[in-house]
A and B are shown apart, each in its own frame.
Chain A
Amino acid sequence: MSTIQTPLSPSVLTRFKYDILQRLEQEKISYIFFDFSGLTVMDIYEFKEIENIIQMAKIMGSCSVIVGLHPGVVASLVLYDIDYLSLNTALDVDDAFTRLNIETS
């Protein structure tokens, strides 16, 4: 479970990326849940950085699920018309577990 509650500045995102990749190198992690419930804004730069981290995690064998997106963030992402459909998302952590159980059963 990876949670960000602070604004996604470039330095925060760089540190976040480094921490995730380091953990993935150190231990086998099948699923990463990114909890963004504390974010009320996500601009395109931030979204693309998160997308890059998820792609890096995928290359290292880990599946990512974004949980807790604020409705306003969702509305903005849809208006941007970017490819958010490639992302795994869930309403919250419980929903994410439920979806994963269904997919793996």
Chain B
Amino acid sequence: MDNLTTQFTIKDEGSFQVALMSIKKIATEFDYNDTQVAQFLTAASELARNIIKYAGQGCIQIRAVNKGSQQGLEIVAIDHGPGIEDTSLAMQENFSSGGSLGQGLPGAKRLMDEFSLASTVGQGTQVRATLWR
């Protein structure tokens, strides 16, 4: 796989499910094992669900990445929603400002090998997460 980025617009349940189906195909073709495919997809699901819930719409990008001899797929979730005031608080288990259970972001972090969160209030949020093969 080359380092092309595939981008999916996330704006409602329909686009969410279409994106997940395509991401499943990408993860399977990347030669992740079944468990890794499920982990990657579940993390993508968490991030896409967060986009719909907090920002209304945004996008998910998937690309192949390398670090030394490691190869993996990276998910980048981008939205231009309200942003997160306290990102460390948002990463705590069971914290939520949106009335949900607040386990989406920390849950996605647990599933992936690398995870970073950047957010600016009033401008949006970007989550970057990688699962090595």
Interface size on B, residues (CB 8 A): 23
A79 and B17 contacting across the interface, CB-CB below 8 Å: no
Overall SS of chain B's interface: helix
B13 and A9 contacting across the interface, CB-CB below 8 Å: yes
Contacts of B34 in A (CB 8 A): 70-72
Within 8 A of B (CB), among A48-96: 48, 70-73, 75-76, 79-82
Overall SS of chain A's interface: helix
A71 and B46 contacting across the interface, CB-CB below 8 Å: no
Partner of B103 from A9, A42, A76, A80 at Cβ < 8 Å:
A80
Q: Tell me, rounded to whole Å, the shortest Cβ–Cβ distance linking A37 to chain B.
A: 14
Q: How large is the interface on A (under 10, 10 to 19, 20 to 34, 35 or more residues)?
A: 20 to 34
Partner of A82 from B20, B35, B36, B103 at Cβ < 8 Å:
B103
A11 and B42 contacting across the interface, CB-CB below 8 Å: no
B104 and A45 contacting across the interface, CB-CB below 8 Å: yes
B24 and A79 contacting across the interface, CB-CB below 8 Å: no
6 A-B pairs whose Cβ atoms sit less than 8 Å apart in the complex: A43-B107, A45-B101, A45-B104, A48-B101, A75-B39, A76-B38
Give the interface of A toward B (CB within 8 A).
Answer: 7, 9-11, 40-45, 48, 70-73, 75-76, 79-82
